[in-house]
Amino acid sequence: MAIASLSEIPAGAGELSVWPASTTRLPHGDMAVGGVSLAEIADRFDTPAYVLDEGEVRERCRTYRAALPEADVLYAAKAFLCRAMVRWVEEEGLGLDVCSAGELELAVTAGFPPERIVLHGNAKAPRDIGAALRLGVGRIVVDGPSEIARIAAAVGPQGRQRVMVRVVPGVSAGGHEKIRTGTEGQKFGLSPADGSAQDAVARILGQPRLELTGLHCHIGSQITEVEPYLVALRTMVGLMALVRDAHGVVLPELDMGGGHGIAYRPGESALDLTALARGLRTELGESCAAAGLPVPRLVIEPGRAVAGPAGVALYRVLAVKRTGRKVFVAVDGGMSDNPRPVLYGVRYAPRLVGRHSAAAARTATVVGRHCEAGDVLAADVELPGDVHPGDLLAVPVAGAYQLSMASGYNMVGRPPVIAVHEGTSRLLVRRETLEDLRSRDVAG
């Protein structure tokens, strides 16, 4: 089933609207994703575990390519990355946006063309810059003035590196204050308002070993409205015109970042990709015409909107506790494999799978196994009243910023990732074991 836009299945489709499009109900209360039973995956691979629908990932890549055929679409690796994900993204014609030498090296060793990779980050270590230059990364996004000389010096006398400048367009957007990155006074980028962006442009143009290809911005994450992108775009085109007027240089690329919002629960809003593509295309044409500029090559960087809806997290219930008026359902995972609820107040819609329940629904809070009061995976959700230890809970929209942000808290080990596609399942990332944890502890 193809997705028409990132608004997912229409709200009228009900409780499965935020699940992968391949999701089907099976007898006895089970569900299948990618043609594979979730209960069977839990039995085979144990829990907690992440299930990733390859078909959903690929279809979302194709949807972006179809919506913006004139643009470069870069998958934001920080959402989730493994070798299989690298291959899927490359085969579907997307580029890659990475934030570290680790992400970059994994991608290149998995066969991804380095010239289609962009490296950014507000504090690049020498290892990051060295890996980017050694592997031949396509672009490095300059985030601060000190990086300019460092990159130029590392290039060497015979080299030349393409770079962009990350700009703060003064736009506040995003689902939480901790993921709003387009405003003044935070750690990312350089501002046109105080002249630091213009100064960086001038310094780069004065470096013969650096080639300035364009400007970059990223205004935030989990954005569900088009207008903030258009406001930011106008600011960016205005700065491109200033660069042209001051230096006689017409920049050929404009990277508008990502942050495209998705629905985590039925009925929630999501960014409409069709409307975004139409708005960006129109605004870019009109703004460039008004400024007397040719239309630059547009670049966007979706991550969550590609991987998020393709993932399902599986947990086994360990305990059910009634405390006063509250019911707590404790599972075998928690903030070590998904810190987003405690970081950003994210809300999910877990579901009982693997058996049918005729019990009336009751309000419960799904909590993790860790020694933190904030270790809550889903607060005040409806679950069958007879949920008990041993039951299997599935949480949709679990493909982005969960395993990629996982920790070693309490040494429980990070879960595996299992790919499903056309009725088959295979292990992509194995479970972190106690032996893995012990092997890093080298001093007796």
Residue 5 lies in a domain: no
Q: Are residues 295 and 383 located together in one domain of the fold?
A: no
Q: 232 near 276, Cβ under 8 Å?
A: no
111 falls within a domain: yes
- Would the annotation count 340 as a binding residue? yes
Q: What is the mean pLDDT of residues 266-292?
A: 97
Asked if 210 and 83 sit in the same domain, the reply is yes
Are 337 and 241 within one domain? no
| Residue 251, both tokens | 């920049």
- Determine contact, residues 47/390, Cβ cutoff 8 Å: no
- Judge whether 444 lies within some domain: no
Split at pLDDT 50, 70, 90, the class of 183 is low
| 423 and 287 fall within a common domain | no
Between CA 396 and CA 8 the distance in angstroms is 13
- Considering the domain architecture, whether residues 250 and 374 belong to the same structural domain is answered as no
Among candidate residues 305, 329, 352, the one where a domain is terminated = 305
Across the chain, mean pLDDT equals 93
350 belongs to an annotated ligand binding site: no
Please tell me whether 268 is known to bind a ligand.
no
Give me the mean pLDDT over the 33-40 stretch: 98
3 inside domain: no
CATH code of residue 399: 2.40.37.10
| Nearest Cα residue to 305 out of 283, 276, 284 | 276
Report residue 80's pLDDT band, with 50, 70 and 90 as the boundaries. very high
Both tokens of 308, joined, read: 């998020």
| pLDDT digits 0-9 by tens, 58-75 | 999 999 999 999 999 999
Nearest to residue 222, comparing CAs of 367, 400, 90?
400
The reply to whether 304 sits in an annotated binding site is: yes
Residue 6 pLDDT greater than 50, yes or no: no
Q: Which domain holds residue 203?
A: 54-305
CATH of the domain at 172: 3.20.20.10
Helix (H, G, I), strand (E, B) or coil at 342: helix
Residue 1 belongs to some domain of the structure: no
Number of domains into which the chain is organized = 2
209 is in an annotated binding site: no
Instruction: Read off the tokens for 14.
Output: 């009900």
- For residue 177, the model assigns a pLDDT of 52
For residue 402 the two structure tokens come to 């969960």
Q: What global pTM score does this model have?
A: 0.93
Mean pLDDT of 387-401: 98
Of all helices (H) and strands (E), which one includes residue 201?
helix 196-205
| Residue 123 token pair | 């504090």
Residues 332 and 363 in one domain: yes
Tokens matching residue 292 = 């007397």
Residue 398 is assigned to a structural domain of this protein: yes
The residues assigned a catalytic role are 371
Contact assessment for residue 365 and residue 325, using Cβ atoms and an 8 Å cutoff: no
Please check whether residues 90 and 20 belong to one and the same domain: no
pLDDT in tens, 197-253: 999 999 999 999 999 999 999 999 999 999 999 999 999 999 999 999 999 999 999
Separation of alpha carbons 290 and 284, rounded Å: 10
Q: Which of 305, 334, 361 is the last residue of a domain?
A: 305
